[in-house]
Chain A
Amino acid sequence: MEESSVQQAHVHAPPERFIRKHIFSLDHKVIGKQYYALALVAVFTGMILSWLMRIHMVWPTAKIPLLEHISSAGAPGGVITPEYYLSLLTMHGTLMVFFVLTNAPFAAFGNFFLPIQIGAEDMAFPRFNMMSFWVTFAAWAVLMLAFFIPDGPPIAGWTSYAPLSAVGKDAGPGMQWGMSLWGLSIALFCIGSLLGALNFISTTLDMRAKGMTLMRMPLCTWAWFITACIALLAFAVLLPACILLILDRHAGTSFYVPGGLVISDRLQAHSGGSPLLWQHLFWFFGHPEVYIAILPSMGIVSHILINSMRKPLLSGKVVIYSMMSIGFLSYMVWGHHMFLSGMNPMSALAFSFPTLTITIPATVLTLIWLGSLYGSRLQINSASLFALGFISMFVAGGVSGFFLAQPSIDIYLHATYFVVGHFHMVMGVASLFGVFAGTYFWFPKMSGRMMNETLGKLHFWITFVGTYCIFMPFHYLGLIGNVRRYQSFVDDFMQPFLGWHKFMTIAALITGAAQFIFLFNLIYSRFKGKVAPENPWNGTSLEWSIPSPPPWNNFGGKHPVVYHDPFQYGVKGSKGDFVMQDSPEQAVPASGD
């Protein structure tokens, strides 16, 4: 009788009303798409902000039309002021790190595919799931609001170091209400992410279909699961940090602000606070956040590579354990962001070693991917191109980590363009390549239509080459000591190198423009693309065992049973060189070899 009641509680009828179906939907697939859409809006906003910054940097007096209508104070006559440049910088960072790199690879794809790949009908807590999206959406709306208040967006950077971020209007334009909106937005984002992570974890633990042992989960499912564990810890720490920040700003407390500060000729009424407290709390979140961004992409890329190589990775287990150890180590390294913040020099070394150590699992992953390519039947399409691009990008951004992990070198390279190049390549572009790969791979399942391959490949080539053109020079300029977060380069020694900045700006404009090809492809294919079959890529995992797009209850009320791990490629199966996870047939090694 309990069972029956449970059935009533859980098995919901397909929603009919538009609002329940598309807006306040409990369906993890709709929520996944909503996350994807939000990330899409955020990424294009963020990209345009970066365009404005790049343009202003190399043509400081350029008059940018329309801009003065958005902010007459920030861009008088269309010329970006120093503080507005910092506003753009702050919003770019915040949008990209939180609303793109956290939402797209993790929340968007995870929501759509995690339940399907483990054979579940929905997330463990559909209502929490809906809440987590709408709270995140509110966070985005609050952040965007900062553009349209007279005060303007904050200028403290995405790291919002106290006391600059904690003292209010004396700290400069945008630091009164803009900064408060930032704090509120991030606090909301934390809540949304916590709900999401909670859902991912208990779904993975408890909703797996019959026979779906943990080790039979696809690698991207594993990545999402591990990421959820990291996120749960990270955002549970960032939320308190934001609460303390808001209290310092509006309740007159002194958690972060020490005494005797004179800002804009005004003696601040705080005492005893510790600026380093913010840095510790923030980076305790901030470094794992890097892996929250990259791990899902690692999983997605592995998932796609296996499919397009038509053979399993050298070892799925090793990939899983590497991702786990990366997640684990990510909590012992936050101090490497603070080598020069006046921590005890001994602890700098203590933080440096785990940071260097984290390159071991990363290298293992890379070698596994590379080694698996050997002897494969690699098929090239937009998805696999981006997956391979990811490997190249991950290595390129990864090796520069060697430098920054060492306190001695960090003395020279800290806060230069080298750092910017490093994290843009490894955390930004690499994980976005994962997202692109995932999009080209899964779009048929999500929308029921194929994406245009020609446009996809065009998009890849411009993005891949363009990215190197933008971000490699960042490293070089860092080596000559080009300091980041400057709105223009007034120092003499920079003059000979401004040509490189022009080159980077142009590369950025072109690469950015190429993203509109992707956008067009998305929209065009959504309506005009050719209809997708159930299993366009001959995949083995459960998402390919159901129609595209999947029905509202995924498996049409049937309970899938799983007989294999998802690595059954390069074998003789009834459908071809693969055996699906839910097919009882025994895989026999392909003949002829």
Chain B
Amino acid sequence: MGTKRVVFAGLAMLAASAVAFAGPAPAGGTVSGKVTYEGTPAKMKPIDMSKEPSCAKMYTTPQLAETVVTGSGNSLENVVVYISAGAPDDPAPSTAAVFTQKGCRYIPHVLAFQVNQELKIQNEDQTSHNIHPLPKLNREWNKSQPPGTPAISEKYDKAEIFPVKCNVHPWMHGTFAVLKNSHYAVTGDGGAFTLANLPPGKYTITAWHESYGDQSQEVTISGSETKTVSFVFKAKPY
């Protein structure tokens, strides 16, 4: 049963990679830019992990909540930048998107991956975690992962951005961004992003943030040019 599933997955990967590497990748345009904020963002509170000593003792400095993570030069992190319209749907890549539970945190806090791409969830803690994504369009599930149990493998078949939580550790909240095509980025420190090899055409670029919502811009790519787009979010103190 279990083994059979693995075999299928393997075949699927082979097929996918075959498609992916058939012929040279089309050289196209690039959209790059930076996500910033204006105003004063809320001060992130330290997370109180006292209820889970096995995690609490892994940290010397208090861990902060990650709903709003800012970087140098008012840059905004954990923003999903993707093409919401204009690009054709891409086949799921053969590589799995990995979501790790470590020290009672989610790594990464925001995980973007494609429709039908394999999602691998692993628990590196000594405590039992529970993964409970809260999608609206996709099928909802809620599984526990005791320490030392095999990674959970899942797929989502509809494009959607939704929160994921751990029922056992209330502070553990993250985001799954399930996207239609392969042109996406999640901003890190510096808030920079790059969406590469876009064929000529008119695109709608959308930037989504966990607590500041989303905004979109139109971009037209002709040939292999590089367009710069930047997003600015309004920050609220509370």
Contact = CB atoms under 8 A, between A and B. Distances in A.
A575 interface: no
A81 interface: yes
Contacts of B163: 265
Contacts of A79: 146, 148-149
Given A72-B2, A81-B128, A81-B144, A265 B134 contact: yes
Contacts of B149: 76-77, 79
Contact of B134 (A61, A68, A172, A264): A264
Interface string B128-143: 1010101000001011
Interface in A175-227: none
A469 to B, nearest CB: 29
B165 interface: yes
Contacts of A264: 132, 134, 142, 165, 167
What class of interface size applies to chain B in its complex with A? 20 to 34
Contacts of A529: none
B1 A69 contact: yes
Contacts of B1: 69, 72
Contact of B144 (A61, A68, A82, A266): A82
Nearest to A84: B144
A76 B129 CA distance: 13
A463 B150 CA distance: 39
A60 interface: yes
A77 B130 CA distance: 16
Nearest to B140: A169
Contacts of A60: 146
Nearest to A263: B167
Nearest to A80: B146
Contacts of A169: 140, 142
B128 A82 contact: yes
A73 B146 contact: no
A126 B181 CA distance: 68
Contact of A82 (B134, B146, B152): B146
Interface residues of A, number: 18
Contacts of A82: 128, 130, 144, 146, 168
Contacts of A76: 145-146, 149-150, 152
Interface in A33-84: 60-61, 68-69, 72-73, 76-77, 79, 81-83
A173 interface: yes
B150 A173 contact: no
B167 A172 contact: yes
A83 B167 CA distance: 11
Contacts of A173: 142-144
Nearest to B142: A173
Interface string B159-174: 0000101011000000
Contacts of A83: 144
Nearest to B170: A265
A61 B142 contact: no
Given A81-B128, A82-B128, A61 B148 contact: yes
A279 B44 CA distance: 41
B164 to A, nearest CB: 10
Contacts of A77: 149-150
Interface string A248-286: 000000000000000011100000000000000000000
A338 to B, nearest CB: 27
Nearest to B127: A490
Given A265-B165, A266-B134, A81 B146 contact: yes
A153 B222 CA distance: 57
Contacts of B146: 60-61, 76, 79, 81-82
Contacts of B168: 82
Given A264-B134, A265-B165, A172 B148 contact: no
B82 to A, nearest CB: 24
Contacts of B167: 172, 264
Nearest to A266: B134
B54 to A, nearest CB: 9
Nearest to B151: A76
A425 to B, nearest CB: 32
Contacts of B134: 264-266
B152 to A, nearest CB: 8
A504 to B, nearest CB: 22
A68 B2 CA distance: 10
A15 B140 CA distance: 53
Nearest to B165: A265
A63 to B, nearest CB: 10
A100 to B, nearest CB: 29
Nearest to A169: B140
B67 to A, nearest CB: 13
B145 to A, nearest CB: 8
Interface string B101-140: 0000000000000000000000000001010101000001
Contacts of B130: 82
Interface string A144-182: 000000000000000000000000010011000000000
A426 B146 CA distance: 35
Interface string B65-93: 00000000000000000000000000000
Nearest to B132: A264
Of B132, B134, B146, B168, most A-chain CB atoms within 10 Å: B146
A236 to B, nearest CB: 36
A76 B145 CA distance: 8
A38 B211 CA distance: 56
A173 B148 CA distance: 21
Interface in A80-97: 81-83
Interface in B167-224: 167-168
Contacts of A265: 134, 163, 165
Contacts of B152: 76
A105 B144 CA distance: 39
Contacts of B145: 76, 81
Q: Which 10 A-B pairs have the closest CB atoms?
A: A81-B144, A76-B149, A173-B142, A82-B144, A79-B149, A77-B150, A79-B146, A83-B144, A77-B149, A73-B143
17 contacts: A61-B147, A68-B2, A73-B143, A76-B145, A79-B146, A81-B144, A82-B130, A82-B144, A82-B168, A83-B144, A169-B140, A172-B142, A173-B142, A264-B134, A264-B167, A265-B165, A266-B134
Interface of A: 60-61, 68-69, 72-73, 76-77, 79, 81-83, 169, 172-173, 264-266
Given A60-B146, A79-B148, 17 more contacts: A61-B147, A69-B1, A76-B146, A76-B149, A76-B150, A79-B149, A81-B128, A83-B144, A169-B140, A172-B142, A173-B142, A173-B143, A173-B144, A264-B165, A264-B167, A265-B165, A266-B134
